[in-house]
Each structure stands twice: as C-alpha cells, then as structure tokens.
A and B are shown apart, each in its own frame.
Chain A
Amino acid sequence: MWRANQKRHAILSIGFTALAVSGMAVAAPGTIAQAASSCASPNGQHCYSEENTATRNQGAYGEITASCLSFPRNSTSASVTNEIWDGQSNKYWTEAGVTSGQGGNGYNNRRWFWADDRPGHGYYQHYPNVSAAGSGNYRVKIYYVGKNSWHILGGNSYSVIGISSAQPVGSTGDVTGGTEYMGAANSGIKDRGRIQSMEWEGTNGAWHLLGKSAQQENFGPGHYINGKYTYSTSTETWVGPC
C-alpha cells in the first residue's frame, strides 16, 4: 500500500489525469469523475491534505491544532480527521488524532482515536475514554518502545492512550501528518487547522523535523481542501470550510 502510495505521489506532480490512467490511481477515470463531488467512497477513496516524508523511522510526532473540526450528525458514512500516521514496510501503519463525524463506532465529535494495521492482523481502531479535544494545540506521538511494541501518546493531557504490539520497525517507512476528509464541500463539513513541528524518529533514537525532506500533497477524488507546507516550522496548514 505505502509503496503504491509513493509511486502515486510522484505521479501527482504530473497531474491528476495522468494519475487516473497510471494504474497506480485508486480509481479509473470514470470513477473519479463520478466521485468528484463527494470525497467519500465506500471503498476508501478519501481525500487528504498532508505533509509526508518517506524515511525509515521508529516514531512520528506532531502538534495538532483543530481550529474547525466537525461533521453533521445526519451523515451515515462520512467523517473528518486531523491526525498523524506512522507507516512501516510500505504496508503497515499506526495512526492517531482527532475525529468528527460517523466512524466505525458511530458518531464522534472531536474525539481522540488511534488505529493500526499490523503484520498478521487486521484493522483495529480505538476510541480512548478521554475528553474530547478543544481548539488548542495538542501533541500526539507514535513511537517504538522496544520488543516490537509502540506507544501512542495523545489526548488533551498528552498521555499514553494506546499500545500497539507485534509490529517490528520496518526497513522502510513513512511519516505523515494532515487532514483526511470523507465528505463533499457542501456536506456541512468543517475542517481548518494545522499540524506543526512534525518530526520523525530515526532508528538511532534521534528525532528530526521533517523540514525540507517533506512534500505537501492535496489529493483524493474531488479534493477541495488545499494545504500549505512551511518547511521552516515543519507545519502543514489547511483551510477548508469553517
């Protein structure tokens, strides 16, 4: 998945039409046209505005400011997140952040969550019993603690909200931060915020700002939220409906 993603990233610079016919695209051109009005799809064709760097790593860190983050309760299938992802070996990942809208668990409003997909397992998602996020600046971190285990720090008090085990550090990896949205521009979605001070942890334990190594991307079928990446502060900022 992540390898395909990286190939797709390269194609993005050529243009969305080229992407659609490349075979790496998530849908055929006709499908893209059909889905262009929604950014929501039952097969996971979501939209994103994010910063990303491909590097072997054993951790990801970012500071989430969800200035506007909500989704109407009347939707049965769409949501929006502000979050970070830590990818391993091009196909496994752990993610953590704040979500609003309809999730696998029902309706959420600025709720903290984390999820993972690990070797030999499926997709697991968790909604820790912590207070909903406000509009402040919240730290979130996914990092390796040894013995194939990872800790997820987050919540308003920046504490351990999850433990993911049986996932070794891969030979390749990705660190990503931004927003993922699954609703049309006229759906009532509100999504405006930033993730600043994005960092990745090397396998020697040293943390690095993404800086110039990261690229900024806006994509998905009918994406309409455009972000901006400021490498001097490793900050992804996006301005959607609010």
Chain B
Amino acid sequence: MKRLHRAGRSLLIAGVIAAAAGASVVTSLSTAGATARSSASGSAPARPAVPETAIPATVTGKLDAVALQTATASGDATPTSVQAVATSEGAAVTVATPGDSTPASSSETVYLVVLKGNFTLGNVPVPPGASAPTGHYLTFTVATGSLAILDLGLSNSAPPAALKSIGAVTTLPG
C-alpha cells in the first residue's frame, strides 16, 4: 500500500514538474468568495483584504525551497502536491490553522502554502506523554519578506476553504 502510494505520488510529481516546466503554473481566480477569518467571540469580523495578485515569479522558487525543507523536516520529502497563495494573514490562518488566530492577524499579506502527503512532526513541542502529530495536510503561512514561517498546521482533514477562495493559486514544483 505504501509502495503503491509512493509510486502514484512519483507520477503525480512528474506531472506537476512537467506542467511547471520552469515556470510556475499560476491560475487567476476570482477572489469574490474570500472567507473572513473567525474570531474568538464568534462574531463576524471585518473581511481581511485579499490581494489580487499572484505570487511573484521571483519568489516561487524560494517559496518552493521553504516548502520542500518543511516537508522533509516533517517526514515526507516528496509531497503529492504543493500549492500556495498570496493572501491576507487573516484569511490565511482560517485555512492554515482553522479556529486559531493571533491578534496580529490582519490585512498584511503573507504566503499560505498547503502540502499534501504523509507528515509527522517529530520536533514540535507536545505535552508529556503525547505522540508526535501526524497528518496528510501540512499548511503554513510565510512572511513575504523574510519567508519565515509564522503559523503551521498539520491535520488529516483538508483545509476548510479552497485556496482559490482567498487568492490566486500557484502550484509549486514541490
């Protein structure tokens, strides 16, 4: 089963790489469906601004490297898919870490990266006695300047909102 999965993954990656062919595949989609981030009180907050632009081509290579480093450190160096959007931090955390938020979350633009694979976070802090978190969807937000990861999530469930609903999707080579 694992071997079959790996084989399928390799085919998928080959396809993605072929499609990318040296340039990121950028799909411009409507941002009309942008979701507002949740708040602690459950009241409807102001909808964060959603950038209309795609991730700059000069950044996609670096962002892909960050994604691969993170995937490798999380136990899966060959994720089946890697997608990213440029969006507001407020919108990004609703996808990356739904239910969690930070006061600083705002309209400031970040990159949101979503990877699909088989991940284990062996080096993150957990309570005494807890197992290392595992999951199939690794998500993280990245500061646009430093490319430092700000928020990171790992879940067995797909993000609650489609990436295209919060920004123009870029498929990274992975």
Contact = CB atoms under 8 A, between A and B. Distances in A.
A79 B123 contact: yes
B154 to A, nearest CB: 5
A129 B150 contact: yes
B130 A1 contact: yes
Contacts of A161: 102-103
Nearest to B74: A104
Contact of B129 (A8, A40, A76, A83): A8
A163 B103 contact: yes
B156 interface: yes
Name, among B98, B120, B130, B153, the residue most crowded by chain A CB atoms within 10 Å (CB to CB): B130
A147 B123 contact: no
Instruction: Say whether chain A's binding surface is mostly helix, strand, loop, or mixed.
Output: strand
Contacts of A123: 121, 124, 126, 133, 135, 153-155
B41 A147 contact: yes
Given A102-B73, A127-B150, A121 B123 contact: no
A105 interface: yes
Interface stretch (A41-49, A185-193, A231-239): A41-49
A93 interface: yes
B77 to A, nearest CB: 13
A163 B100 contact: yes
B61 interface: no
Instruction: Say whether chain B's binding surface is mostly helix, strand, loop, or mixed.
Output: loop
Name, among B70, B127, B151, the residue most crowded by chain A CB atoms within 10 Å (CB to CB): B127
Contacts of A117: 126, 130, 133
Name, among B74, B102, B149, the residue most crowded by chain A CB atoms within 10 Å (CB to CB): B102
Given A26-B129, A93-B130, A102-B73, 18 more contacts: A1-B131, A4-B129, A43-B122, A46-B126, A52-B128, A95-B126, A97-B125, A104-B73, A104-B124, A115-B125, A117-B130, A122-B156, A125-B151, A149-B41, A162-B100, A162-B103, A166-B99, A219-B128
23 contacts: A42-B122, A44-B126, A52-B128, A87-B127, A104-B149, A105-B140, A105-B152, A106-B70, A115-B125, A117-B130, A121-B99, A122-B156, A123-B153, A124-B100, A125-B153, A126-B102, A126-B151, A127-B149, A128-B102, A147-B41, A149-B42, A163-B100, A180-B128
